Amino acid sequence: MVKFYNNRELADKLSINLARWKRWSREFLPPDPLAGQQAGYARQYYVEHAFVVFVGGHLVANLGFSIPQARWILSESREWMKTRGFHFDPRGNRKPRKGLDAHVKSYAVHILTSSDQGLTLFARGHLGRIDYEYEGYPVVKSVYVDQPISPSRQTQTQSIETGSEKILCLTALLEQFRKILDPQGEYFPGLVET
């Protein structure tokens, strides 16, 4: 069964101000042909569209990006997100991730800002951790894989040290969103747990 949500329901469940949610939906989604001001219909959201608004709102409210920057980040990362399982399949026919992606436990999108290139995106996938001893001290080593999202721009992961980056913890946001809207796993059967 495909579940649809309205503005008020999503704003209440996600604890977001209703006016703010409506503004974000106007900014991050194309116009709804059925829900124009004159039509008398309230906009209804399929879960995928609600997630786009939720992520866009997080970029603006929590990470401090402007609406145009957040819109650019969403459009630039849309295909990458779909191929990594960050979309919803109401029929549950999602194909499993392949290759190295199948081993990634969580993804975070790193958004680098520079004066010459503007915004650049790359994803960092957490593969796991290795516990070992170093000169008698317990040490934990985390293993990551970096993947460029902005192929048209050169991604330099070295600029992480400059402090000119913001991190969008995409897997954590998806889990938060799913647990709030579908705690029983009833409506999102195609969501791959990462």
- The terminus-to-terminus CA distance of the chain in angstroms comes to 23
Q: Which domain holds residue 101?
A: 4-181
pTM: 0.82
Residue 163, domain member (yes or no):
yes
- Distance (Å, whole) CA 13 – CA 118: 35
Residue 108, domain member (yes or no):
yes
Q: Which two tokens stand for residue 33?
A: 């042909």
Residue 191, domain member (yes or no):
no
Question: pLDDT value at position 8?
Answer: 93
Residue 193, domain member (yes or no):
no
For 90, 103, 140, the CA distances from 127, given in Å and listed in that order, are 28, 6, 13
Residue 186, domain member (yes or no):
no
Question: pLDDT value at position 66?
Answer: 94
For 29, 50, 105, 179, the CA distances from 146, given in Å and listed in that order, are 29, 27, 13, 27
Question: pLDDT value at position 35?
Answer: 59
Residue 139, domain member (yes or no):
yes
Residue 192, domain member (yes or no):
no
Question: pLDDT value at position 40?
Answer: 64
- Distance (Å, whole) CA 156 – CA 140: 25
Task: State the 10-residue block means of pLDDT for the chain, 194 residues long.
Answer: 84 95 93 66 84 95 95 91 74 66 86 79 90 90 86 53 79 91 67 45
Residue 194, domain member (yes or no):
no
- Distance (Å, whole) CA 39 – CA 27: 20
Task: Pick the closest to residue 150 from 116, 123, 178, 115 (CA basis).
Answer: 123
In DSSP terms, 169 is beta-bridged to none
* Number of folded domains that form the chain: 1
